[in-house]
């Protein structure tokens, strides 16, 4: 992939997170100066690279945004307070507060004459009335209006998209906006309450296999549908969009729509295990159906996803299974040493 980003000075906000970490990994191979910022203490970052300037800082503070955008060419804003459906349904105010990150970074970019700004938006901006059935048609970019996004997180993303647009119109700051559709892959959250469906189901199936359990829990009836994008495809789409001349929001997603039950079937096949499912109808489920229409990205960027859901799920399942086995081994060693 030719990113055209070589020997640049780049700030990656939220670089200690899942997508941000993979972006930093790619950019660090291109002889760029990278300033990587995340609110989490560095020891909790998902990925860490010694050849970057790594800083733990809260970018909701305008003064810190001024410091971090000084002497950089480009800003990638991957920072926000978010997680899977269980988190965003129960933390709407916390999700909304992330608007301060985007607001203050944009203001700081004007002050420090940053050349280009990227904002990571979400498919949660789409009108929920168009997502009430399973296996819907892919959502086109114009389907975000009239506005009726998911409450909390979706509104924050949609509002921040508009801010990017107006900062270009009023201040001539070049902005790029990607609407991500359920990005997944290794080196991300798979437990603790912020994990998304692919990682959560991989973890449940892996735990069942390791502990010889007969059942797994599924939120809802399992018939709700989504499309999921593997992280490597996400990074390529992101960089192609960033290097393009397209300023409007664009889907970066997959149109390979599946139900949660179908996804669980794929993961179980990789695990070589058959499990019963306990459907938890009282858990957050989100919209009934969602998928990405990639017509615009194919036409404008000559981009679409390359990694099938089958292959991507195998990769993340194998990674999570290995991580869980490592945790089990550490517990056994601790217990053994305590007894001795």
Beta bridge partners of 252: 180
Cα atoms in the 13 Å half-sphere on the side-chain side of 175: 29
| In a domain? residue 139 | yes
| In a domain? residue 59 | yes
% of the chain exceeding 70 in pLDDT: 95
Please give the tally of structural domains in the chain. Answer: 1
Domain hosting residue 18, numbered range: 9-183+229-252
pLDDT of 2 higher than 80: no
| In a domain? residue 79 | yes
| In a domain? residue 94 | yes
Is 153 among the catalytic positions?
yes
| In a domain? residue 263 | no
pLDDT of 4 higher than 80: no
Residue 281: other Cβ atoms inside 10 A:
9
% of the chain exceeding 90 in pLDDT: 88
| In a domain? residue 85 | yes
For 158-174, write each residue's pLDDT tens digit: 999 999 999 999 999 99
| In a domain? residue 332 | no
- Amino acid 332: pLDDT: 52
Across 123-141, average pLDDT: 97
Proportion of the chain in helix, strand, coil states, percent, rounded to 5: 45, 15, 35
Q: Which of 198-202, 306-310, 330-334 has the lowest mean pLDDT?
A: 330-334
- Amino acid 57: pLDDT: 96
For 215-230, write each residue's pLDDT tens digit: 999 999 999 999 999 9
Task: Give me the chain's average pLDDT, please.
Answer: 93
* Backbone CA torsion sign across 217, 223, 224, 227: positive
Q: What is the pTM of this model?
A: 0.93
Closest CA relative to residue 16, chosen from 3, 94, 43 = 43
Strands (E), the chain: 9-13, 33-38, 53-56, 74-77, 116-122, 174-180, 183-184, 215-219, 225-227, 229-230, 250-252, 257-259, 276-280
| In a domain? residue 39 | yes
Bigger pLDDT: 336 or 181? 181
Across 24-28, average pLDDT: 94
- Amino acid 336: pLDDT: 39
Across 246-250, average pLDDT: 98
Q: Which of 74, 117, 126, 153 is catalytic?
A: 153
CATH classification of the domain holding 92: 3.40.50.720
């Amino acid at each position: 992939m030719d990113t055209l980003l070589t020997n640049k000075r780049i700030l990656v906000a939220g670089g200690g997170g899942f997508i941000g970490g993979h972006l930093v990994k790619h950019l660090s191979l291109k002889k760029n100066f990278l300033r990587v910022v995340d609110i989490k203490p560095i020891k909790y970052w998902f990925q860490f690279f010694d050849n970057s300037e790594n800083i733990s800082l809260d970018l909701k503070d305008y003064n810190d945004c001024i410091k971090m955008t000084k002497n950089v060419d480009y800003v990638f804003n991957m920072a926000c307070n978010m997680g899977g459906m269980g988190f965003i349904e129960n933390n709407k105010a916390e999700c909304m507060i992330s608007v301060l990150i985007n607001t203050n970074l944009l203001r700081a970019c004007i002050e420090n004459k940053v050349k280009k700004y990227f904002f990571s938006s979400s498919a949660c901006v789409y009108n929920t009335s168009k997502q009430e059935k399973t296996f819907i048609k892919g959502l086109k970019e114009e389907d975000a209006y009239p506005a009726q996004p998911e409450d909390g997180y979706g509104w924050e993303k949609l509002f921040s998209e508009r801010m990017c647009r107006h900062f270009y119109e009023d201040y001539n700051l070049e902005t790029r906006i990607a609407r991500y559709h359920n990005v997944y892959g290794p080196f991300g959250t798979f437990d603790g309450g912020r994990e998304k469906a692919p990682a959560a189901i991989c973890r449940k199936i892996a735990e069942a296999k390791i502990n010889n359990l007969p059942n797994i829990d599924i939120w809802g009836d399992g018939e709700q549908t989504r499309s999921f994008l593997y992280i490597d495809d996400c990074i390529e789409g992101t960089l192609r969009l960033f290097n393009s001349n397209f300023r409007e929001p664009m889907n970066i997603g997959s149109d390979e729509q599946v139900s949660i039950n179908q996804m669980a079937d794929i993961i179980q096949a990789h695990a070589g295990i058959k499990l019963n499912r306990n459907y938890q109808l009282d858990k957050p489920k989100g919209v009934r159906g969602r998928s990405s229409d990639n017509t615009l990205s194919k036409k404008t960027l000559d981009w679409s996803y390359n990694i099938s859901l089958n292959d991507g799920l195998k990769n993340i399942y194998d990674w999570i299974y290995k991580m869980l086995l490592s945790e089990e081994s550490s517990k056994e060693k601790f217990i053994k040493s305590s007894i001795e």
